[in-house]
């Protein structure tokens, strides 16, 4: 109680210091539950406010953060032909991954929360809690080597245009985290597609660059780089324990390494091209290049189960999305069965392997279930999820410029979610009127 009393004494005045008061209120209400409840006997009273509801989603993402940090380091060293076993040189991989991930996390939150604080101070109300989840999701759906300036622009665009322009938390019609990803992918399509001959950078594997002069001559040689102020500090610590160290970098990548994601390979040559590089088991467990938090399917499934068990996310949306993707995939497989046309190779990928590739499960668990932008009626959730699965797969296999379709499908269905709910409610009212 002494800490609580101390915090109340130092609370800035709302009129004279609106920004400081808003900042204080945001951290205070994050640490302490509100001491007031709704008056009247007809309301349900619960200790779960919006901040604590959002915290459950953040907690469900922690396994993805842990695996993503390790996988960033593993992909970096695998590109150098070093430590091929996933847990080999664990200390180097996890430290390298955290060094790459923490700046992404910090920039996303500094920019996003900074804008939120400013808007809250200008409006004269408490800080809204919506960015708590968006800020946790954005780093996980980004490439591990995304330039921080691109990330800052994407977060600013998503928060201002996608959220504050509509009135703030609970009023936005688009998923804020997906808007940030859409900005990155459409503002920098060449780099995000991994076209190293043009960009000279491999965004899906961190810490690697190409020599532009060699690229012009068709020589694809990547080199690693380390910063003395980050890895150099850890090298001295590791050396004191007799452990392996980072060294100075500059090691040429093994010729057998490819930084391509399974989706990039599937776009070029179908399932056969994917299995030449990755096994289904490898794609399921996630030891491959990709967005930071979207590769390890078991941990995503655990997070999804936790959200369903805590009644934070809707299982109807999830199952509807699985059904939509599966049925659409079966139709594609049926229509293209036996064809030897190379242009149809992507459509011939067995429907169940689409769950292994890319971000389907992550989108299903953490994106499509956003309670603000998804349908709110029970029947509407089935319809909403079904069309995300169907439309997303159509975009994935039929759009050569963008092999990952779930982001666009969710944003597309965000627009139609209110319309779906409207017709579901109209149908229910019509049936009840007939019974009356």
pLDDT by residue (tens digit) across 363-379?
A: 999 999 988 899 999 99
What is the rounded CA–CA span in Å between residue 301 and residue 310? 14
Report pLDDT for 197.
44
Is the residue at 229 inside a domain?
Answer: yes
Sign of the C-alpha dihedral computed for residues 50, 151, 21 and 174 taken in this order? negative
**Whether residue 18 is found in the same domain as residue 164:** yes
**Whether residue 114 is found in the same domain as residue 218:** no
| Cβ–Cβ < 8 Å for 210, 200 | yes
Report pLDDT for 198.
47
| Cβ–Cβ < 8 Å for 419, 373 | no
| Cβ–Cβ < 8 Å for 355, 291 | no
**Whether residue 62 is found in the same domain as residue 108:** yes
What is the rounded CA–CA span in Å between residue 118 and residue 133? 19
**Whether residue 145 is found in the same domain as residue 225:** no
What is the rounded CA–CA span in Å between residue 168 and residue 161? 10
- With residue 210 as reference, give the H or E element that holds it: strand 208-210
Q: Which of helix, strand or coil describes residue 217? A: coil
What is the rounded CA–CA span in Å between residue 257 and residue 81? 8
| Angle of CA points 252, 256, 258, to nearest 5° | 85
> What are the CA-CA distances from residue 4 to residues 23, 48, 127, 266 (Å)?
16, 20, 19, 57
What is the rounded CA–CA span in Å between residue 68 and residue 97? 8
Is the residue at 147 inside a domain?
Answer: yes
Which residues touch 278 (CB under 8 Å, ≥6 apart)? 262, 265, 288
Is the residue at 8 inside a domain?
Answer: no
Q: What is the pTM of this model?
A: 0.84
What is the rounded CA–CA span in Å between residue 210 and residue 196? 7
**Whether residue 71 is found in the same domain as residue 156:** yes
Report pLDDT for 38.
58
CB-based burial label for 123 (10 Å; 0-12, 13-18, 19+): middle
| Cβ–Cβ < 8 Å for 384, 315 | no
Report pLDDT for 252.
47
Is the residue at 44 inside a domain?
Answer: no
State both tokens at 406. 């779930």
What is the rounded CA–CA span in Å between residue 287 and residue 71? 6
| Angle of CA points 96, 260, 234, to nearest 5° | 10
Closest by CA position to 73, among listed 61, 85, 60, 59? 85
Between strands 222-225 and 208-210, the pairing is antiparallel
Which residues touch 371 (CB under 8 Å, ≥6 apart)? 313, 314
For the chain, residues with pLDDT lower than 50 are: 196-199, 219, 250-252, 254
What is the rounded CA–CA span in Å between residue 369 and residue 376? 10
What is the rounded CA–CA span in Å between residue 399 and residue 417? 24
Domain that includes residue 394, residue range: 270-423
**Whether residue 239 is found in the same domain as residue 288:** no
Is the residue at 5 inside a domain?
Answer: no
Per DSSP (E only), the strands in 96-160 are none
Is the residue at 4 inside a domain?
Answer: no
**Whether residue 316 is found in the same domain as residue 419:** yes
What is the rounded CA–CA span in Å between residue 232 and residue 227? 7
How many distinct structural domains can be found in the chain?
3
pLDDT in tens, 184-213: 888 887 777 655 444 455 678 887 766 555
**Whether residue 23 is found in the same domain as residue 129:** yes
What is the rounded CA–CA span in Å between residue 394 and residue 403? 10
**Whether residue 221 is found in the same domain as residue 305:** no
**Whether residue 113 is found in the same domain as residue 167:** yes
**Whether residue 117 is found in the same domain as residue 178:** yes
Closest by CA position to 359, among listed 386, 325, 331, 400? 325
Report pLDDT for 175.
92
The DSSP call for residue 51 is: H
């Amino acid at each position: 109680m002494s800490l609580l009393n101390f915090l109340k004494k130092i609370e800035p005045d709302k009129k004279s210091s609106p920004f400081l008061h808003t900042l204080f209120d945001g951290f205070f209400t994050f640490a302490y539950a509100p001491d007031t409840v709704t008056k009247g006997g007809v309301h349900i009273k619960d200790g779960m406010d919006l901040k604590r509801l959002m915290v459950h989603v953040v907690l469900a993402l922690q396994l993805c953060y842990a695996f993503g940090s390790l996988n960033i380091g593993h992909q970096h060293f695998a590109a150098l032909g070093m430590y091929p076993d996933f847990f080999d040189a664990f200390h180097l991989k996890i430290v390298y991954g955290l060094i790459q991930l923490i700046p992404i996390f910090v920039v996303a939150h500094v920019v996003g929360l900074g804008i939120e604080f400013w808007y809250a101070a200008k409006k004269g109300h408490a800080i809204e809690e919506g960015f708590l989840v968006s800020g946790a999701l954005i780093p996980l759906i980004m490439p591990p080597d995304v330039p921080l300036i691109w990330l800052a622009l994407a977060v600013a665009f998503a928060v201002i245009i996608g959220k504050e322009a509509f009135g703030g938390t609970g009023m936005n019609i688009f998923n804020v985290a997906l808007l940030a990803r859409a900005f990155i992918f459409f503002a920098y399509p060449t780099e995000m597609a991994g076209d190293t001959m043009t960009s000279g950078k491999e965004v899906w594997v961190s810490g690697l660059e190409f020599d532009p002069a060699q690229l012009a001559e068709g020589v694809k040689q990547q080199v690693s780089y380390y910063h003395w102020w980050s890895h150099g500090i850890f090298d001295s610590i590791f050396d004191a324990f007799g452990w392996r160290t980072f060294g100075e970098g500059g090691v040429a990548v093994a010729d057998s390494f490819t930084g391509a994601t399974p989706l990039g390979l599937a776009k070029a040559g179908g399932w056969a091209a994917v299995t030449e590089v990755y096994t289904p088991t490898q794609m399921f467990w996630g030891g491959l290049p990709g967005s930071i938090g979207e590769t390890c399917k078991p941990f995503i499934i655990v997070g999804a189960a936790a959200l369903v068990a805590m009644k934070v996310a809707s299982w109807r949306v999830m199952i509807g999305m699985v059904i939509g993707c599966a049925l659409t995939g079966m139709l594609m497989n049926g229509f293209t069965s036996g064809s030897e046309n190379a242009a149809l190779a992507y459509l011939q990928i067995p429907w169940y392997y689409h769950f292994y590739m890319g971000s389907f499960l992550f989108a299903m668990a953490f994106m499509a279930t956003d309670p603000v932008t998804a349908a709110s009626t029970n029947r509407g959730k089935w319809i909403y999820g079904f069309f995300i699965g169907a439309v997303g797969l159509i975009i994935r296999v039929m759009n050569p410029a963008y092999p990952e379709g779930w982001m666009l499908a969710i944003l597309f269905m965000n627009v139609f979610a209110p319309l779906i709910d409207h017709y579901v409610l109209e149908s229910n009212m019509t049936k009840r009127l007939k019974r009356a």
